Chains A and B, each alone.
Chain A
Amino acid sequence: MKNTDENILALLADDRTFDQGFRMLVKTYQERLYWTIRRIVHFHEDADDVIQNTFIKVFKNIKGFEGASKLYTWMYRIACNEAISHLNRNKNRKLINNEDQMLFLENNLKADIYFNSERAQLTLAKAIDSLPEKQRLVFNLRYFEALSYKDISETLETSVGALKASFHHAVKKIETYLKENYDIVNG
């Protein structure tokens, strides 16, 4: 059986095949959701917690999924909300100012065995993290996930026009950040 949304939803609709359907859902979307979450929270341990919470929420609420949006945009919304909530719960991020936050991120990413701390990539990670929350989400979903604006619009419940503007501003800010650290990028 193909892992299409239709097949997954059909299995989930029947109590006798629910477990099989949910397993298929996890297998189909775990990687995409993981990367979306990981780009927001940066660290694997955090992403691991968040993706588990995301799937538990999906499990509890899937019966209420009415199909108004695509299954994965519905799950992206849950994943993004979970990731942002996770960040907000992280007291370190609340207590420190923006410069300290960057330093904290840099030090932790350098120490993270699950991060390839090539200088250019580390600088890019810092540039993305310096963006306001909404711009960061839009940039990640559009640039890395290559989602269409329509899908992002469903996920973030924002108009396509506003998303395009957000993405444009995000790209400009990232480029400015990279220019300011030009030597590092070239290094």
Chain B
Amino acid sequence: MDNRQIPDKYFEQLAGKIEEGIHAMQDNVEQEAPLLNRIGKLESYIIPEGYFDGLYSKLNLPKSRQSVIRRMMPYSIAASILMMMTLTWFWVNQNENTFYNQLALTEVYDYYIENESLFDQDLLIELSFEDTEKDAFDLDNLADEDLDLFTEELINEMTDQELLDIL
């Protein structure tokens, strides 16, 4: 005979036995604690009227991502507009500068002269003086007398050897 044999209907009864055991271990307050059972589960605690209606609004919750997005939306739009305006301003100014750089110096002077009243006179004089100085080094535009003086000064500054090399 196989030692591993089990009683008839063992598994059929097993579930019932376990259930019985669980019930035995269950609370069983009625029999084990009659005084506790007599007092029952009547709630001793009282809560203010309408407490639960207002609890959610009392919660000091951190802002959720959606709320933050909704709250920041106007600022985001304003920031976008400001950025677009800034970029446009830079683009226009850059193009204006490019345009300005492409103008001939004479055209700029003409513009100044025609619109003289719009500009500060001291600034105009200063700008004119700077341009005159630049012209002084432009040999093509020098008068004959000035050219002679310039040549004389140049010769005086040269060494004998430098003169020999030129000649």
Contact = CB atoms under 8 A, between A and B. Distances in A.
A83 to B, nearest CB: 14
B154 interface: no
Contacts of B25: 164, 168
B16 interface: no
A59 B66 CA distance: 14
Interface residues of A, number: 49
Contacts of A26: 55-56, 59
B15 interface: no
B66 A16 contact: yes
Interface string B59-90: 11110111101000000000000000000000
Q: B interface, how many residues as a size bin?
A: 20 to 34
Interface in A28-50: 30-31, 34-35, 38-39, 42, 44, 48
Given A15-B66, A143-B29, A185-B38, A30 B48 contact: no
B60 A56 contact: yes
B41 A38 contact: no
A35 B33 CA distance: 23
A27 B56 contact: yes
Interface in A134-186: 142-144, 164, 167-168, 171-172, 174-175, 178-179, 182, 185
- Interface SS, A side: helix
A109 B151 CA distance: 115
B152 interface: no
A114 B33 contact: no
B82 to A, nearest CB: 27
B41 A144 contact: yes
A15 B54 CA distance: 24
Interface stretch (A1-9, A90-98, A115-123): A115-123
Given A16-B66, A175-B36, A185-B38, A44 B27 contact: no
Contacts, number: 107
B58 interface: yes
A30 B36 contact: no
Q: Which of A115, A167, A171 has the most CB of B within 10 A?
A: A171
Contacts of B36: 124, 171, 174-175, 178
Interface in B37-54: 38-39, 41-48, 51-52
B18 interface: no
A148 to B, nearest CB: 11
A44 B61 contact: no
Given A52-B58, A56-B60, A178 B45 contact: no
B64 A18 contact: yes
A117 B26 CA distance: 30
A125 B44 contact: yes
Q: Which of B26, B29, B39, B41 has the most CB of A within 10 A?
A: B39
Task: Give the top 7 A-B pairs by smallest Cβ distance, nearest first.
Answer: A121-B44, A175-B33, A178-B35, A114-B46, A15-B66, A15-B65, A26-B56
7 contacts: A22-B64, A52-B59, A56-B61, A113-B46, A114-B46, A124-B39, A175-B35
